Structure 1
Amino acid sequence: MAGLAFMGTVFGYNFIKYEALFRTRKPIGTYTKIIAVISLLALLGAGICFFLLETRTQLTAVMFLGLTVLYAVPFTKKGNLRNLSGIKIYIVALCWAGITTLMPLINAGVALYSDVYLKFCQRFLLVIILILIFEIIDLKEDNPSLKTVPQKIGIKNTQLLNITLLGILYSLEFLRQKIDNTQLLVNVMLVLAVGLFTLGASPERNKYYTLFWVESVPVFWLGLLYLVSFS
């Protein structure tokens, strides 16, 4: 399951980023060719892992694969799901939350119950929050037709929305059947870190603000979980 998620992510990310380049048959450089080879190897590895999964998990994986394809490949005159205003962030959040929360449990045959759905909602919200930070940074470069949240309501209101969503994300922890104090501690540190990134987000920021710092949030979260598990 972990192999499929990792290699599928590598292929999916590169497919979304470079699909148009290959579809239009534009000349590609050595760097892009290397990316293409890595992507094909990742696809092969993901395919092998796919056939090792339970049938129910395979069906779920196909659904998320379909969303990824529709996200990148044009299927209407307006383009793909990525170009449909207001939809992009929900598609990305749904795929990330579903693959990291639901699929492992479905593959293990674990019944989905209230705490699982709460965790799904938390990860769904976290991905949306992180995407909104990216949208603030990319405000000057994004096509106005995308109608991103910062384009619609402005930077300050987007930051306020993010802080509100972070509050909801943290509050969901108190709805669990059994409240875990360790998880509460980890989540408050996560919320504080993402809150600081939100308040510091600006179109004037360097790209590395999102490419390194914001994208490192899941790694930071994982590190916190490992740290508290050994304490």
Structure 2
Amino acid sequence: MNWLKYIFHFYLDASIHVAISVFAFIEITCVFFGLSRDNHISYLAFFGTIACYNFVKYGVEAKKYLLVANRYHKNIQVFSFIAGIFAIYHACFVSFDTWVGIAILSILTSLYAIPLLPNTKNLRNLGGLKIFVVALVWAGATVVLPVIAANKTMGWDVGVEGVQRFLMVLILMVPFEIRDLEYDDPALKTLPQRYGYVNTKIYGFFGVLVFFFLTFLKDQLTYVEVISKGIIFLTLGIFMFITKRKQSKYFSSFWVEAIPIFWWVCILVLDTFLGL
């Protein structure tokens, strides 16, 4: 039983769960736009997420998580290093245009954690900018990169999907922002710090509405997309409603981060078993 608990905690703490969510987002993009599966870009995103997230989590934000150097976190560091090697391996097989996109997203990720110049702030510490940088990187990695890797045109529908993905990630971060309200430095000026816990939830509800109705701006729609986004619309709304300042241990770190995986499963069911 202790081993099961250890494995589950390692699964969460080593960012494997969030990496699967990124992978799921990419698969969703492939379904919506009929893209041929590029396993290299999917695995690059998966392993790259583990390496990048753990770099930030156990480096830049280690103080917030009250982390100390022990064997458990050393194991996570080794695991993250190995994931980074796998990410580099898969990066060797992507196109030049994809590399350009990866470079831009990598620069944004680096500036999120590391100041560009000495005695300057990183993007994370620029008041209120944190979640927008994260959402932009996620949207770019899970919508733009798969389209580029498949040599498809960046058309109107891709742009709409990119905006929707950006909004969805912002919405998914609301419970985390509320959870971390008592831990975040006031200088960060997060949404709950600026506007309060209740108003932040209201903004989240508004974002859920915008996310769903943007769907109908697309030129090409399928039943799978409309129905699955309707399900996610309801799911996000429920999570916004039940989000509290005092959350259960796994509410954000497991259940909220599992929503993209749940969406992917819904799409697979609709697409495969119902034939929509």
Q: What runs of 5+ residues in structure 1 fail to find an aligned partner?
A: none
Task: Summarize deviations over 1:84-112 as a string: whole Å, max 9, x none.
Answer: 11111111001101011010111111111
Give the Cα separation in 1 of the matches to 2:43 and 2:223: 31
Give the Cα separation in 1 of the matches to 2:61 and 2:105: 23
**Pairing 1:3–2:43 present:** yes
Task: Answer yes or no: is the 8 Å Cα contact 1:19–1:73 preserved in 2.
Answer: no
Matched length: 228
**Pairing 1:50–2:91 present:** yes
**Pairing 1:137–2:192 present:** no
Instruction: Return closer, same or farther for 1:43/1:224 CA change in 2, 3 Å cut-off.
Output: same
Match of residue 17, structure 1, among 49, 57, 60: 57
In structure 1, what is the equivalent of residue 192 of structure 2?
A: 150
Task: Summarize deviations over 1:152-195 as a string: whole Å, max 9, x none.
Answer: 11122111111111111111111111232321111111011111
Q: Mapping of 1:1-231 within 5 angstroms?
A: 1-20=41-60, 28-75=69-116, 76-230=118-272, 231=274
| Structure 1 residue 27 displacement after superposition | 7.1
Instruction: Return closer, same or farther for 1:15/1:148 CA change in 2, 3 Å cut-off.
Output: same
Give the Cα separation in 2 of the matches to 1:8 and 1:177: 33
After the TM superposition, which of the residue ranges 119-128 and 195-204 deviates more from structure 2?
195-204
Which letter maps to 1:169? F
Task: Answer yes or no: is the 8 Å Cα contact 1:4–1:49 preserved in 2.
Answer: yes
Give the Cα separation in 2 of the matches to 1:67 and 1:119: 20
Q: Indicate the structure whose relative CO is greater, using CA pairs within 8 Å and at least 6 residues apart.
A: 2
Q: CA RMSD in A?
A: 1.7
Instruction: Return closer, same or farther for 1:20/1:153 CA change in 2, 3 Å cut-off.
Output: closer
Give the Cα separation in 2 of the matches to 1:19 and 1:79: 16
Give the Cα separation in 1 of the matches to 2:61 and 2:200: 32
In structure 1, what is the equivalent of residue 34 of structure 2?
A: none
Q: What's the TM-score once normalised by structure 1's chain length?
A: 0.93
Q: What runs of 5+ residues in structure 2 fail to find an aligned partner?
A: 1-40
Give the Cα separation in 2 of the matches to 1:51 and 1:94: 24
Stretches of 4+ aligned residues off by more than 4 angstroms: none
After the TM superposition, which of the residue ranges 204-213 and 45-54 deviates more from structure 2?
204-213
Give the Cα separation in 1 of the matches to 2:181 and 2:203: 16
Q: What's the TM-score once normalised by structure 2's chain length?
A: 0.79
Which letter maps to 1:153? Y
Which letter maps to 1:217? I
Give the Cα separation in 1 of the matches to 2:220 and 2:83: 39
Give the Cα separation in 2 of the matches to 1:181 and 1:27: 49
| Structure 1 residue 53 displacement after superposition | 0.5
| Structure 1 residue 21 displacement after superposition | 8.5
Give the Cα separation in 1 of the matches to 2:71 and 2:179: 29
Which letter maps to 2:124? R
After the TM superposition, which of the residue ranges 4-13 and 153-162 deviates more from structure 2?
153-162
